[in-house]
Structure 1
Amino acid sequence: MTGKTSRGRVFWRNAILVLLLALIGVAVWSWRDFSRFGNTPLHVSAQGESIDIGRGSSFKEIVRQLRSQQLSGASPLYWRLLAMQMRAAGKLHAGEYATPVGITPRQLLANMAAGKVLQRNFTIVDGWTFRDVLAALAKAEKLKHDTAGLDDAAIMQKIGATGEQPEGRFLPESYAYVKGDSDLDILKRAHVAMAKMLDQLWPGRDKDLPLATPYDALILASIVEKETGRADERAKIAGVFVRRLEDHMLLQTDPTVIYGMGDSYQGKIHKVDLTTDTPYNTYTRPGLPPTPIAMPGKPAIMAALHPEPGTALYFVARGDGTHVFADTLDQQSRNVACYQLKHCGND
């Protein structure tokens, strides 16, 4: 009996040992598999994907959404354990989160716990008109389009600028936004940014400019913006317009005529257009037009406030993006013949 009892004890001891080793092996494997899960990139098929977590979503619903978007096939238990390990359980914020190629479950949960929602950028381009801005806003993804159906006056009222004309009032810059933001939010921020910049730059303007108000500077800057995109020419062109204003000469700038033509402009300006009077036709009306004709960037505003001194009163496009300047009408006529009519020299 003693021998059998001893052998039985050895058997059970060995069986328990094997079972313990097996359990340890399973635990080690499970831990390694869990650790691998947390640091293995999600199944992102293309750049630019995101996951949108609705307000009030439970953790179970979040994991279900991850699985339904095929970002992860891992067990919900793994997600729960990872959230507990990171002390993120119950702290995940609603919102839209980026899932770029290479992001891991650990990184995604960290972003959700920190509320690092996906930000997009809307850029107002130097030289855009207000119509251009509205058209671009209408195409912006994940942005509420609250300006739809509103006229210019209503839009300006909504952003707290009642009575202002919108043209030129919005600073060309990139503005970050998140899902659920309104196009009115972006317009308000851009409007405040432009007003702030003008307030900062106006006091440091050159002395004796023929500009009575910051709004006059904005109008002139918008003309400079539409006349040239070259940094080395902005102040020169601003100088020409400033001298023409000082000498009570007509500005005679095509971009203002084009702006005044509105929808009738089809890509070309004709002689009849230069003689057809509108509030923006600087060939028929003296001084600055009544409003800006585009959104000027800071460089154009700086040029308007600090024009380059000189004697030139005219300029004409060379056709390569640059301009040639002239002091007299005779010089200008020769330059026009050469660079626009292609009759240079004795030809």
Structure 2
Amino acid sequence: MSRTLVNLFGALLSILTLAGVLLFWGYQSLISYGESSLKLNQSQELEVKRGGSLMQIAKGLEAQGIIQDSWKLKVLLKLHPELAHIRSGLYEITPDDTVNSLLEKLSSGKELVFSVTLIEGQTIKEWRALLQQQPRLTWQEDIFNQVLIAHGDNSGLPEGKFYPDTYHYVAGDDVKLVVEQSYLKMQAELDKAWQGRDKTIPLTSPYELLIMASIIEKETGKAEERPWISAVFTNRLRKKMRLQTDPTVIYGMGERYQGNITRKDLREATPFNTYRIKGLTPTPIAAPSGASLHAAAHPAEVDYLYFVSRNDGSHIFSNTLTEHNRAVDKYQRNR
């Protein structure tokens, strides 16, 4: 082999070696770029609009200083083209995110998830105010009745028919998504409670069970007392006694209630004043929990007819009016 060919071969080998080193360095640089953290001090929202491209998003993030060298992203996508197809929506980016994890979020559609908790013992009016305040949730007026109508209930009486729980949604979802989930869950839980009820309880329909559960919910300070509270009301219904429970009076007072019940309030004839009416109220007075539905369906096997608060969330239960009056004197009249 001539010296010229040897020199050419050596030069070619050097070029190939250098090219290999540069390719390896470039590959490692891209790997490092993908694993680099976003430059964030705290989490923030990132909105991807319909029709937006990944490079448009990258340029915006680069302008904010959140990522650097966005051109490297373009090269990185040549290695992982599946990550280039992003989905519109609202995302959360965090200081723990890397360029790779950001790409995975955007391509898999892992949108920011919001949650709202509908609390047991509250009313539709309270839930309506809460839902109207939720971020990124599209509001509709009269949504509770709309859901009822959609399921064949034209009563116009939504109180108590929706289940208290935590529900999730993403930005732009309609409030109907949350409310309908709540309705369907209550129907399922109510049906389960009714089908599994103690058949001796003096209730004639699932709706009456729902009403009873709502009253139990409002009278319960301690979870373990629910079956006893249920027993008191069940025993009173069996004996044709009025329920005489303050939360029903308060519900009937509506906006007039300012924290106190007077003797005049107890004498007032309203459909919800159980000191005046016999039996249950015409509708639930709040949203009962699953535990209260179960308690309404399975009252404790006790003979109690009365209870009075100890002012610490618990109650004293009594079989007779004489015992009850003593408890009232001790815990309410401070005698």
What is the correspondence of 1:153-168 to structure 2 with a 5 Å cutoff?
153-154=145-146, 156-157=148-149, 161-168=153-160
In structure 2, give the amino acid aligned to 1:138.
Q
SS in 2 for 1:232: helix
Question: Structure 1 residues 195, 152: CA separation in 2 closer, same or farther (over 3 Å shift)?
Answer: closer
2:129 corresponds to 1:145: no
Q: Of 72, 90, 94, which aligns to 2:88?
A: 94
What is the correspondence of 1:211-226 to structure 2 with a 5 Å cutoff?
211-226=203-218
CA shift for structure 1 position 21 = 6.8
2:103 corresponds to 1:109: yes
Q: TM-score, normalised by structure 2?
A: 0.91
Give the aligned partner of residue 289 of structure 1: 281
Q: Paired residues, what number?
A: 334
Q: Of 56, 77, 80, which aligns to 2:51?
A: 56
Give the aligned partner of residue 67 of structure 2: 72
User: For residues 261 and 313 of structure 2, what CA distance do their matches in structure 1 show?
Assistant: 18
In structure 2, give the amino acid aligned to 1:252.
Q
2:77 corresponds to 1:83: yes
Give the aligned partner of residue 315 of structure 1: 307
User: For residues 209 and 315 of structure 1, what CA distance do their matches in structure 2 show?
Assistant: 20
Q: Of 28, 32, 35, which aligns to 2:28?
A: 32
User: For residues 15 and 186 of structure 2, what CA distance do their matches in structure 1 show?
Assistant: 74
SS in 1 for 2:114: strand
> Contact 2:53–2:86 (CA<8 Å) still a contact in 1?
no
Q: Percent sequence identity over matched residues?
A: 36
Give the aligned partner of residue 4 of structure 1: none
SS in 2 for 1:176: strand
In structure 2, give the amino acid aligned to 1:36.
S
Structure 1 segments (4+ residues) deviating >6 Å: 8-22
Q: TM-score, normalised by structure 1?
A: 0.88
Give the aligned partner of residue 41 of structure 2: 45
Question: Structure 1 residues 83, 268: CA separation in 2 closer, same or farther (over 3 Å shift)?
Answer: farther
CA shift for structure 1 position 29 = 4.1
CA shift for structure 1 position 165 = 0.9
In structure 1, give the amino acid aligned to 2:137.
L
> Contact 1:83–1:109 (CA<8 Å) still a contact in 2?
no
In structure 1, give the amino acid aligned to 2:33.
F
> Contact 2:143–2:176 (CA<8 Å) still a contact in 1?
no
> Contact 1:158–1:184 (CA<8 Å) still a contact in 2?
no
In structure 2, give the amino acid aligned to 1:35.
I
CA shift for structure 1 position 141 = 1.1
Q: Of 120, 125, 139, which aligns to 1:126?
A: 120
In structure 2, give the amino acid aligned to 1:302.
H
CA shift for structure 1 position 45 = 2.4
CA shift for structure 1 position 290 = 0.7
SS in 1 for 2:244: coil
CA shift for structure 1 position 12 = 9.8
2:260 corresponds to 1:268: yes
| Cα-Cα RMSD | 2.5
SS in 2 for 1:259: helix
- Deviation sequence 1:19-49 (CA, Å, 0-9, x none): 77766555444433322221122123223x2
Bigger drift between 9-18 and 261-270 goes to: 9-18
Segments of structure 1 that go 5 or more residues without pairing to the other structure are: 1-7
Segments of structure 2 that go 5 or more residues without pairing to the other structure are: none
CA shift for structure 1 position 228 = 0.9
CA shift for structure 1 position 59 = 2.3
In structure 2, give the amino acid aligned to 1:260.
G
CA shift for structure 1 position 167 = 0.6
Bigger drift between 103-112 and 235-244 goes to: 103-112
User: For residues 227 and 139 of structure 2, what CA distance do their matches in structure 1 show?
Assistant: 38
CA shift for structure 1 position 300 = 0.5
- Deviation sequence 1:165-196 (CA, Å, 0-9, x none): 11111111111111111112211111011011
- Deviation sequence 1:74-94 (CA, Å, 0-9, x none): 32x222233332332442111
In structure 1, give the amino acid aligned to 2:162.
F
> Contact 1:159–1:187 (CA<8 Å) still a contact in 2?
no
